[in-house]
């Protein structure tokens, strides 16, 4: 969610009970603005918080002019001092998927992932590497997994230029209440997968400048999202059942929207059996 709208945005997304203390909100309001200035980001988003056994990671994302470009991710243990996370790689994501259990709250903590196969283990030893992964690498890989799976935006909030870059749509004035209650009105803010498999006939009614992402209506498993009206029907809230703790909010007919994560960083693998 937008750092400049943080206090109001946290109130709108707090229906599930998760949130920050008044002290943490006040500190974040100042430190995120300093973060934007020091790193010269065009925008800063407060991504959320991953709760560990011995502490919590507060996450922020820095954006440049192209909103679809890889984001700079930072974490803080006290909401004041921020540390830049390394760029995520596919190898990091694959390794993190093998890890189970809670985060420890210590970036230097090392996990031994025992589910690695013999070939990968032999290759690591030949390269002089131990079959271990630091919590810092697991942290950035988990953030990437959550952003890919459940990081969403309303339809029309961003536009794609003919050159391929993505920018905020200045003409976006929010979804109507009727449209805001439909899963098809929200897109995954990541590289599309299902869109590439559509036929030319299915793409005929799509606007290439706004419909360049995958919508939520075809997410697997079906039923992995809940849509609710809160604050007297003035706010539409989507919650993910796949990554418990991810909350998206949108105030219809306004530009107010965003998502935030408050959880343990663990995927709900039991979801198919719960539906």
Give per-residue pLDDT as tens, 85-117.
999 999 889 888 888 889 999 898 988 765 555
Q: Output the pLDDT for position 195.
A: 66
Q: Tell whether 60 and 109 lie within a shared domain.
A: no
pLDDT score of 75: 95
**51 and 67 together in one domain:** yes
Confirm whether 266 is domain-assigned.
no
Structure tokens at 195: 């869109």
In terms of residue numbers, what domain contains 98?
Answer: 93-138
In a domain, 200, yes or no: yes
pLDDT of 60: 95
Q: Are 198 and 229 in the same domain?
A: yes
CA 123 from chain centre, in angstroms, equals 32
Let me know whether 66 and 118 are in one domain: no
pLDDT at 113: 61
The verdict on residue 146 lying in a domain is: no
Q: Are 35 and 41 in contact (CB under 8 A)?
A: yes
What pTM does this model have?
Answer: 0.87
Are 191 and 151 spatial neighbours (Cβ–Cβ below 8 Å)? no
Compute the distance between CA of residue 51 and CA of residue 252 in angstroms, rounded to an integer. Answer: 31
Count of domains forming the chain: 3
Gap between the Cα atoms of 219 and 222, Å rounded = 6
**Do 105 and 200 lie in a common domain?**
no
> In the prediction, which pLDDT does 209 show?
75
Low-confidence ranges of the chain (pLDDT < 70): 15-17, 113-131, 194-205, 207-208, 275
43, 59, 85 - which closes a domain: 85
Task: Report helix, strand or coil for 194.
Answer: coil
The contacts found for 68-73 with CB under 8 angstroms, 24 or more apart, are: 68/158, 68/160, 68/165, 68/166, 68/189, 69/165, 71/45, 72/39, 72/41, 73/47, 73/140, 73/143
Both 123 and 166 in a single domain? no
Classify residue 263: in a domain, yes or no.
no
In a shared domain, residues 213 and 121:
no
Would 69 be classed as within a structural domain?
yes
pLDDT at 199: 62
Buried-exposed string 4-15: b where 16+ CB fall within 10 A, e elsewhere: eebeebbebbbb
């Amino acid at each position: 969610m937008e750092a400049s709208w943080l206090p109001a945005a946290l109130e709108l997304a707090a229906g599930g009970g998760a949130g920050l203390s008044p002290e943490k909100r006040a500190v974040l309001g100042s430190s995120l603005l300093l973060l934007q200035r020091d790193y010269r980001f065009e925008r800063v988003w407060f991504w959320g918080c991953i709760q560990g056994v011995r502490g919590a990671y507060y996450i922020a994302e820095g954006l440049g002019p192209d909103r679809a470009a890889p984001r700079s991710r930072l974490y803080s243990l006290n909401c004041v001092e921020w540390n830049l996370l390394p760029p995520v790689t596919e190898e990091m994501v694959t390794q993190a998927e093998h890890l189970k259990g809670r985060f420890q709250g210590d970036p230097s903590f090392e996990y031994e992932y025992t589910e690695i196969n013999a070939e990968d283990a032999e290759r690591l030893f030949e390269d002089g590497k131990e079959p271990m992964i630091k919590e810092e690498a697991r942290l950035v890989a988990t953030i990437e997994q959550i952003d890919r799976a459940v990081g969403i935006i309303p339809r029309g909030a961003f536009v794609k230029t003919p050159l391929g870059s993505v920018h905020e749509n200045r003409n976006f004035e929010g979804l109507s209440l009727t449209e805001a209650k439909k899963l098809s009105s929200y897109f995954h803010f990541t590289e599309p997968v299902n869109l590439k498999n559509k036929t030319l006939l299915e793409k005929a009614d799509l606007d290439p400048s706004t419909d360049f992402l995958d919508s939520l209506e075809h997410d697997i498993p079906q039923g992995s999202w809940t849509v609710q009206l809160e604050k007297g029907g003035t706010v539409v809230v989507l919650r993910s059942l796949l990554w418990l703790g991810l909350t998206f909010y949108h105030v219809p007919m306004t530009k107010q929207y965003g998502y935030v994560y408050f959880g343990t960083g663990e995927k709900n693998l039991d979801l198919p059996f719960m539906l």
